[in-house]
Amino acid sequence: MSDDNQASTAASGGCPFSHSQGVGEFADAFATVRSQQGTMDIDDQNDPVKMVLGLKSVRKAAHNWKTFQSGAIPGRIVVPSEVAIRTIRQLPFELDPPMHGDFRALLEPWFKRPLEPAYQDKLITTIHRLLDNVQNKEVDAVSDIALVLQSQALTTLLNVPFAESDTWISWGTHVFRSEDNPLDADKANILYDYLDEQINRARKTPSDDVYSLLCSAEVAGKKLTHDEIKGIMVLTFAGGRDTVINMLTNTLAYFADYPNTLALLRDKPEFITSAVEELVRYFSPLTHMGRVATQATEVEGQAVDQDSRISLCWASANRDERVFENPNEVDVTRKMNPHVGFGFGIHTCLGAHHARTLLRLWIQALIERIDMISVGDFEENVEVWAGESDTVERKVGFHALNLTLKSIADKQ
């Protein structure tokens, strides 16, 4: 899925004497083009995309699934397109109603488990064990913290043995792409081969994990095929990989730059819930998601041809100054925050309960244990979206972010 965006160029920082300043800043990359045009046309492998940039237009288009469909050929609603490198349909997000609703209904209860106390207790244990290992020494927030926590927490979501996370961690942060080519099919095969094994194992020896649930489940009166199960699992792995890694890394970068916000949440933990929403709005870990027009139509007053693509640019919409006061400031006490960081409409992020719970518990642990965060060298992950007349560079996270989490206990 689209967690692997445009070939990312490396902007580097990391002067040892002026480091942390700016590391927590994530600029509104689309500000100018949004206010001047409302959309931005980009090319993508000769299948152009009209990026929709304003919040209200994004929501309207996301709501209108009849005109802007997800059930196009597999990979086409992802930008950059994955049509050339995969045939597996990712489910349920590359489906339209009514099939979409049938798959969603099957999966919803499983993906709501993060609301249960026992699930949260597991995540709390995972988080504190990780903090034990990484605090008070310089580590890379991406590979030593975010990748590890994302992988370990995913074992709870899938209800598989904790040790599986070692395999996923060993894949590195770029499991679904190689460093030099974001559309490298060989990389995706690591995941596909792994999933084939897991599904076959679950068929032979069922357990209480997600694969076994899917092997025994029915949708519309029929057992799921191997490729349908695989399509669900590919989405779960890919959709929750870079997004969660960026969310966790960027949160550390932000608190490094703004220790007062960490202190505020320590004094007033009742704001952690709104802080989670605000950080997701500000970081917008997934820049956008595409749709295919089923008929000739228009967005923002501009023509959209039948069978052409648009994208719903969550990252731009989340900085729309017509809706958000001080859109480029993080206000963890923000009361009205109608962000689209988890998407909008029938396809809203299935993993949102897991992501919200993980970030909430992560912040809770940080305020309990971490006094301050100091930053060393880092390398930003900057997406480049090249339009006909505009090129937008968006910092979405980091390739590496060296930092030290200084514990409260160590200070005392």
Partner 1 sequence: MTQIIFITADEQEHVLEADSGSLMELAVANNIAGIDGDCGGVCSCATCHVHIAPEDKARVGEASEIEADMLELAENVTENSRLCCQIAISDKLEGIRVTVAEG
To partner 1, the closest distance from the beta carbon of 264 in angstroms equals: 17
Compare residues 218 and 329 and give the one whose CB is closer to partner 1.
329
**C-beta closer to partner 1: residue 155 or 284:** 284
Q: How far is CA 154 from CA 146, 167, 215, 229, in A?
A: 12, 12, 19, 17
114/110 Cα distance (integer angstroms): 9
Closest contact distance (angstroms) between CB of 65 and partner 1 is 11
Q: Which is nearer to partner 1, 184 or 321 (CB)?
A: 321
- The answer to whether the Cα torsion of 247, 253, 256, 261 is positive or negative is negative
Residues that bind partner 1 (CB under 8 A): 56, 59-60, 63, 273-274, 276-277, 323, 334-340, 342, 344-345, 348, 352-353, 356
125 vs 348, beta carbon nearer partner 1:
348
Residue with tokens 């689309």: 30
Residue number, 43 or 116, with CB nearest to partner 1: 116
DSSP codes, 326-353: STTS--TT-S-----TT--GGG--TTHH
Q: Residue 151: in which H helix or E strand, if any?
A: helix 147-158
Peptide bond into 80 cis (omega under 30): yes
Q: How far is the CB of 404 from partner 1 (least distance, A)?
A: 31
CA distance 154 to 169: 11
Smallest gap from residue 323 Cβ to partner 1 (A): 7
C-alpha dihedral sign at 88, 90, 96, 101: positive
Compute, in degrees rounded to 10, the torsion defined by CA atoms 56, 60, 62, 65.
Answer: 180
Side chain identity at residue 320, one-letter code: D
Residue 130 or 349 with smaller CB distance to partner 1: 349
Q: Which residues pair with 138 in a beta bridge?
A: 404
Smallest distance, Å, CB 5 to partner 1? 23
Smallest gap from Cβ 34 to partner 1, in A, equals 17
Strands (E) across 136-196 are located at 138-140
Minimum CB distance to partner 1 smaller for 60 or for 399: 60
Q: Which two tokens stand for residue 167?
A: 């395999």
Minimum gap (Å) between residue 296 Cβ and partner 1? 22
- Cβ neighbors of 39 (< 8 A, separation 6 or more) are 50, 51, 52, 53, 299, 300, 302
Shortest reach from residue 62's CB to partner 1, in Å: 8
CB of 60 to partner 1, least distance (A): 7
Query: What is the rounded CA–CA span in Å between residue 412 and residue 401?
Result: 26
For residue 29, the one-letter residue type is A
For partner 1, the closer CB: 344 or 385: 344
Q: How far apart are alpha carbons 248 and 403 in whole angstroms?
A: 13
When the beta carbons of 354 and 395 are compared against partner 1, the nearer one is 354
User: Residue holding tokens 């923000």?
Assistant: 334
Residues 290/310, Cβ–Cβ less than 8 Å: yes
- Phi then psi dihedrals of residue 189, to 5 deg: -65, -25
Q: Residue 196 Cβ, how far from partner 1 at the closest point, in Å?
A: 33
What's the full length of the chain, in residues?
412
Nearer to partner 1, 93 or 314 (CB): 314
